[in-house]
Chains A and B, each alone.
Chain A
Amino acid sequence: MAEQLYNAVFIGSIYALFALGFALVFSVLDILNLAHPTVFMLGAFIALFVIGTLGLPWFVALPIAVLVTGLFGIALDRVAFAPLRRRGAPALSSMISSLAVTLIVVRLVELRYGGDFITFPAGTVPAFVFRVGDATFEGIRLAIVVLSVVLMLILTYVLRRTQLGRDLRALAENPRAARLLGVDVDRAIAATFFVSSALGGLAGVLLAFAYNTLDSRMGVPLELRAFTVMVVGGMGSLPGAVIGAYVLGLGEVASLVYLPTELRDAFAFGLLFLVLVLRPTGLLGQKSPDRV
C-alpha cells in the first residue's frame, strides 16, 4: 500500500511538473497552448543531442535544454501567437496555430531521430539511489517530486510578490489596461512564454532521464491530463494545478487498486466532469469562470 502511495505521488508530480507551464500560459494569456507537449518533447531531445552528439555530461545538458526550450517558447509566441494577437484573431485560432507548430516540430525531430523511442547512451543518465531501510529511492524521481512543489512555490511567489508578477497579473486581467498602466506588455508576454516553455523542457528532460527513454510523441499522453489537472485545481491557480495533479495521480492509482481495470481511465474523466459541473471554480480557483 505504501508502495502504491509513493507511485501515486510520483505520478502526481509528473502531471504537476508538466501542467505548471501549461497553466501559466493559460492563466496569464488565456491561450490553450497545444504545443506544450511538443516543447516538453523538445527538451528531452535537446538533452539527447547535447549528451549523445556533443558528448557533454547530463548536468550540462539539463540547463542547456531548459534554456533552449525557453527561447523556443519566445519564438513560438512570435511565430504562432503574436501575429494572431496583432490581428485581434478569435481565441480559437491560437489553438490551431499551436497545433500547426506541433505538426512541423514533431516531424523535424522524427526526420533526425526516427519515430521509435530511443535511449540515452549507456551510463550518461544520472543514477543516484538512496536507501532508507528496505525502500530504495531514485534520485531523479525524488528530484521530480521535490521540484514539482518547489517550482510551484517559486512561481507563486514571483506572481504575487515581484514587479514581473504584478505585470503579469495586470496582463491577465486586461491587456489594454496593463499597457496603459505602463506595463511592458511585450516583455511580460515573452517572459511568460520563456518560463512556461523552460518548465516544459525541464519536465521533458527529467522524465526522459527517469525512464531513460524518449520519443517524438512522449508529450501527447500528458496533454489531456494537463487539462484535467488545471480544471480540477481551478483555472488560473498554480497551486491549484499542483494539487489537482496529486488528486488525479492518487485517484488513478486508487482506481487501479479498487476498480475493474478497464474502467480506470473513466475515473480521470468522470472526476473532471463532476468537478466542472458541481464546482466549476475548481478546488482553488480564484478567477470566476464564465458561468451563466
Chain B
Amino acid sequence: MDAVSDFLRTYSTTIAVIGVNALLALSVWLTLYAGQLTLGNAAFMGVGAYVSALLGRHLDTPFPVALLIGSVAAAALALPLGSIVFRLRGVYLAIATLAFGEIVRVVLLATPITGRGQGLNGIPPKTELWHIYLSVLVVAYVLWRVQGSTIGRAWAAIREDEIASASQGIAVGRHKLAAFVIGALIAGWAGGLSAHVTFSIDPSDFGFTKAVQVLVFAVVGGTPNVLGPILGAGLLTALPELLRPLKDYRDIFQGAILLLVIIYLPRGLVTFVDVRRTRRLSRIGALDVA
C-alpha cells in the first residue's frame, strides 16, 4: 500500500499531464474524425490556461467557473476562426490553423497582463487528479455517444467524401465547424486544468511544438475511436519517465519506439487490439458475425 501511495505521490504530475494530454488528443481527434487536419488546439489550450489563471488571480473567480470561462473563451475564438479557415482543406487548413496559433503566441508575448515572455508564475495548484480524469471520462463518453449518433455518422461521411455528403443533404460546413468549436472547448478546458498543475505557464508552452505533439498523440493512438487518443497520450507522455533509466539515450529509444509503432501500426495503437480481435474471431470462425 505504501508503495502505491509513494508511486502516486512521485508521479502525480506525470499522471496529471497524461490526463491533460488525453483531453487535448481527444480535442484534436474530433476534427480528425471529421476528416479535417487542424493544428490550432495548442493555442486554444493556451487561451483556456491564461484566461482561467488570470480570472483566478485578479478576480478571485472560483476555480470551476474560471475553467468554464476559459474554455468558452477558446470556443468563442474558434467560432469565427473556423468560419474563415474551413474554406481550406488538408495541409492548407493545418497551416492556416498553425499560423493562427503562432499569432496567439505572439500576442501573449506582447501583452503585459499575460506576463509577456515571463509568463504567469505562482499559479495555485488547484487541479486534483480526479478533476482531470473525471473530465477525460466525461469527454470520452460523450464523444463515444456522439460518434454513434447522426452527427457522428455525418462527420464520418464528410471524412470519406465531402461532396457526396453534401449531396445527401449533410450541412458540411456546419458539421465541420461544430467539430472544431467543440474541440476548442475541450482544449480550453484542458489548458485551464493544466495551468493549475504546474504552477507556471508561459507562451512557449503553447507553440508549434505543442501543436504537433498533440497531433502525434492522436495519430499514434489511432482515430477509429475515442480510445485511440487516450492510449496515444498515455504511452507518449509516460515514455520519457519510463525510459529514465536509459539516461542519455532516452531520446533515442523514444524515437525508435515512435518509429516502430507508426510503421507497424500506421493506423494507431488501438488497431493493435483490433488486429488481435480479428485474428481471434477468424480462428473461432466468428469473423462474419462480428
Binding site for B on A (CB under 8 A): 32, 34, 79-80, 83-84, 87, 89-90, 92-93, 95-97, 99-104, 106-108, 111, 223-224, 227-228, 231, 235, 260, 262-263, 265-266, 268-270, 272-273, 276-277, 280, 289-292
Asked if A266 contacts B95 (CB within 8 A), the reply is no
Instruction: State A123–B61 Cα separation when bound (angstroms).
Output: 62
Nearest B residue to A263, CB-CB: B110
Asked if A32 contacts B91 (CB within 8 A), the reply is yes
Between A and B, 27 residue pairs with Cβ closer than 8 Å are A80-B259, A90-B266, A95-B212, A95-B216, A96-B258, A100-B258, A101-B259, A102-B255, A103-B251, A104-B255, A107-B255, A228-B99, A231-B95, A265-B102, A265-B106, A265-B109, A266-B103, A266-B106, A266-B110, A268-B102, A269-B99, A273-B100, A276-B99, A280-B92, A289-B88, A289-B89, A292-B172
Instruction: Give 11 new A-B contacts, CB below 8 A, not counting A266-B107, A266-B110.
Output: A32-B91, A83-B263, A87-B263, A96-B219, A97-B259, A103-B252, A104-B252, A104-B259, A231-B95, A269-B103, A280-B87
Given A280-B92, A289-B88, the answer on whether A262 and B251 have CB atoms closer than 8 Å is no
Instruction: Give the tally of cross-chain contacts (CB within 8 A).
Output: 134
Asked if A277 contacts B102 (CB within 8 A), the reply is no
Closest Cβ of chain A to B224, distance in Å, is 11
Task: Say which residue of B116, B212, B220, B251 sits within 8 Å of A107 (CB atoms).
Answer: B251
Closest Cβ of chain B to A283, distance in Å, is 14
Asked if B92 contacts A231 (CB within 8 A), the reply is yes
Closest Cβ of chain A to B252, distance in Å, is 5
Given A92-B37, A103-B254, A107-B252, the answer on whether A276 and B88 have CB atoms closer than 8 Å is yes
Instruction: State A269–B208 Cα separation when bound (angstroms).
Output: 12
Residue from A89, A92, A263, A277 having most chain B Cβ neighbours under 10 A: A92
Q: Which residues of B contact A96 (CB under 8 A)?
A: 216, 219-220, 258, 262
Asked if A269 contacts B102 (CB within 8 A), the reply is yes
Instruction: State A101–B257 Cα separation when bound (angstroms).
Output: 10
Asked if A99 contacts B102 (CB within 8 A), the reply is no
Task: Say which residue of B249, B258, B266 sits within 8 Å of A87 (CB atoms).
Answer: B266
Chain B 237-278 interface mask (CB, 8 Å, partner A; 1/0):
000000000001101101110110011001100000000000
B contacts with A, residue count (CB < 8 A): 43
Closest Cβ of chain A to B94, distance in Å, is 9
Q: Is the interface of B mostly helix, strand, loop or mixed?
A: helix
Q: Which residues of A contact B248 (CB under 8 A)?
A: 111
Asked if A106 contacts B106 (CB within 8 A), the reply is no
Closest Cβ of chain A to B279, distance in Å, is 17
Q: Which residues of B contact A277 (CB under 8 A)?
A: 84-85, 87-88, 96
Task: Say which residue of B109, B216, B252, B259 sits within 8 Å of A108 (CB atoms).
Answer: B252
Instruction: State A32–B254 Cα separation when bound (angstroms).
Output: 21
Q: Is B205 an interface residue (CB 8 A)?
A: no
Instruction: State A266–B101 Cα separation when bound (angstroms).
Output: 10
| B198-215 with Cβ < 8 A to chain A | 208, 212, 215
Instruction: State A87–B96 Cα separation when bound (angstroms).
Output: 29
Instruction: State A277–B208 Cα separation when bound (angstroms).
Output: 20
Task: Say which residue of A104, A224, A292 sits within 8 Å of B251 (CB atoms).
Answer: A104
Asked if A100 contacts B90 (CB within 8 A), the reply is no
Q: Which residues of B contact A106 (CB under 8 A)?
A: 251
Asked if B251 contacts A97 (CB within 8 A), the reply is no
Nearest A residue to B260, CB-CB: A100
Given A89-B266, A224-B208, the answer on whether A291 and B88 have CB atoms closer than 8 Å is yes
Asked if A291 contacts B87 (CB within 8 A), the reply is yes
Instruction: State A266–B259 Cα separation when bound (angstroms).
Output: 34
